[in-house]
Amino acid sequence: MERYAHITGWGMAVPERVMTNEEIAKLVDTSDGWIQERTGIRERRIAGPKETTASLAIEAAQAALEVADLSPELIDLIIVATSTPEHLFPATASLVQDALGADRAGAFDLLAACSGFIYGLSMASHSIQCGAVNNVLVIGSETLSRVVNWQDRGTCILFGDGAGAFVLQSSEMPGGVMSSLLRSDGSGGSSLIIPAGGSRLPATFETVRDNQHAIQMDGKEVYRFATRVMASAAREVVQCAGLTLNDINLVIPHQANRRIIESAARSLNMPEDKFMINLERYGNTSAASIPIAACEAVAQGRLRPNDNIVLVGFGGGLTWGAAMVKWDVPFRPEVSPWHRIRRQTVYQLAKVRSALKRGVRRVEGALYRTRPIPEEKQPPKK
Ligand code: COA
């Protein structure tokens, strides 16, 4: 019996704060005209002091669970694709799992930079297809504004914050993620990098002073790489699914630069209106850009039931990847109000339970520390 991984829920979350190109022009030597002409970006969202990669991920995940009408206790696996995790560990995915009250879920972070969401989608669909899990939450979430050097005009104009999430569920009905491909070329790692903060270059006064905890990029190099791989990955993944480019209704590319997307459209010989583009409002939100664009494509009626779509991403690593999806979920605008109330209750209870568990852990710790060591386990007296 064959199993398929269908996308049954989608959701997004972006910070309220909008940062325009004009504002950036007050920080570095640039202009709205230059940024729009070279990238297509007009504005981006910037996380406020209380917003983090986890808080955006949780909001997007809750929206996706709403669309799928799925209870958090039924999630088997949570994958958070991010380059800006809350900590090196614990994984942001575990924080999301705790906040959602997803009791039965495994959770891990995935780092493949801007290709992270495609990598997560591929892992999730294969886990479903092989029978290991039934319900998976794949989230791309970023707060890149926290790792941007706001004095570097080559990078700070490009990035923004946000999150997007998909719910994937198993079904015997053919459809969903039909093929995917993942690629990497680590020889180009230094062309898009945050050099410090890992084990190779731990934080020191010097690394902070020299801005080595911020994104460094060889823009031209990355541009050339992106235009090369996008079209070939899209072509290959469509072929793998047994289709041709003529069968594709919509391409949802990683939103890095309008010129890169236009170049891919030319290489694929596809009209530009078959490409979903919303980077003018969000900039490059890395692992979050593809699910955010998918959510907006649904909202705008550009992504409809039974459409064949291609998702294609590229980024640091260097990494790239693509997925061909049959978007055949029956749309369910009428989510039962009872289910919605139940989910809200689960989220509230998750907070209480998390606090209780932390309390119990503290008490256990205190008791363990004060318990006397039995005579026979004490070191011999001299
Ligand atoms: N504002 C004004 N001028 C700028 C500028 C800015 N923000 N950034 C660079 N310039 C200047 C350069 O100094 C250069 O001036 P010069 O000719 O006097 O030396 C000129 O503009 C051209 O610079 P260049 O680097 O050739 O620009 P570009 O057309 O390649 O555009 C990027 C730069 C970063 C927009 C472009 O290379 C790009 O988008 N690359 C891909 C980056 C990307 O997508 N990264 C994420 C991947 S996931």
Distance from residue 112's CA to the centre of ligand 1 (Å): 23
Domains identified in the chain and CATH numbers? 4-327 (3.40.47.10)
The closest alpha carbon to 66, from 349, 299, 339, belongs to 339
Q: Which two tokens stand for residue 264?
A: 């891919």
Candidate list 135, 254, 257, 295, residue with the active-site label: 254
pTM, rounded to two decimals: 0.94
Q: Which atom of ligand 1 is nearest to the CA of 259?
A: 39
**Residue 358: how many other CB atoms lie within 10 Å:** 9
Nearest residue CA, atom 15 of ligand 1? 154
- Has 134 been annotated as catalytic? no
AA identity, residue 321 = G
Distance from residue 219's CA to the centre of ligand 1 (Å): 6
CA distance 369 to 69: 45
Distance from residue 39's CA to the centre of ligand 1 (Å): 9
Phi, psi of 141, rounded to the nearest 5 degrees: -145, 135
Distance from residue 242's CA to the centre of ligand 1 (Å): 38
Q: For residue 288, give the 3-state DSSP assignment.
A: helix
**Binding site membership of 39 for ligand 1 (Cβ less than 6 Å):** yes
| 334, burial (CB in 10 Å: exposed 0-12, middle 13-18, buried 19+) | exposed
Q: Residue with structure tokens 């779509």? A: 309
Please state, in angstroms and as integers, the Cα–Cα distance from residue 194 to each residue in 208, 214, 338, following that order.
Answer: 12, 5, 46
What's CA 58's distance to the chain center, in Å? 12
- Has 130 been annotated as catalytic? no
**Binding site membership of 154 for ligand 1 (Cβ less than 6 Å):** yes
Q: Which atom of ligand 1 is nearest to the CA of 154?
A: 8
What is the side-by-side order of every strand in the sheet holding 250-253?
176-184, 319-327, 307-315, 250-253
Q: For residue 274, give the 3-state DSSP assignment.
A: helix
Q: What is the pLDDT along the chain (382 residues), one digit of tens a residue?
A: 899 999 999 999 999 999 999 999 999 999 999 999 999 999 999 999 999 999 999 999 999 999 999 999 999 999 999 999 999 999 999 999 999 999 999 999 999 999 999 999 999 999 999 999 999 999 999 999 999 999 999 999 999 999 999 999 999 999 999 999 999 999 999 999 999 999 999 999 999 999 999 999 999 999 999 999 999 999 999 999 999 999 999 999 999 999 999 999 999 999 999 999 999 999 999 999 999 999 999 999 999 999 999 999 999 999 999 999 999 875 565 677 888 999 999 999 999 999 999 999 999 888 887 767 777 777 777 6
- Has 295 been annotated as catalytic? no
CA distance 209 to 251: 42
Report DSSP letters for 40-55, one per residue. ---EEE---TT--HHH
Q: For residue 12, give the 3-state DSSP assignment.
A: strand
DSSP 380: P
Asked if 273 and 240 count as a contact pair (C-beta separation under 8 A), the reply is no
CA distance 24 to 376: 69
Q: For residue 198, give the 3-state DSSP assignment.
A: coil
AA identity, residue 339 = H
Nearest residue CA, atom 32 of ligand 1? 219
Helix (H) or strand (E) holding 371: none
β-strand pairing of 77-81 with 106-110: parallel
Asked if 95 and 125 count as a contact pair (C-beta separation under 8 A), the reply is no
Q: Which residues contact 281 (CB under 8 A, 6 or more apart)?
A: 42, 43, 44
Helix ranges (H only) for the chain are: 21-25, 32-39, 53-68, 92-100, 116-129, 205-209, 219-240, 258-268, 279-282, 289-299, 337-370
CA distance 382 to 379: 9
Distance from residue 47's CA to the centre of ligand 1 (Å): 25
**Binding site membership of 30 for ligand 1 (Cβ less than 6 Å):** yes
Give the pLDDT of residue 335: 72
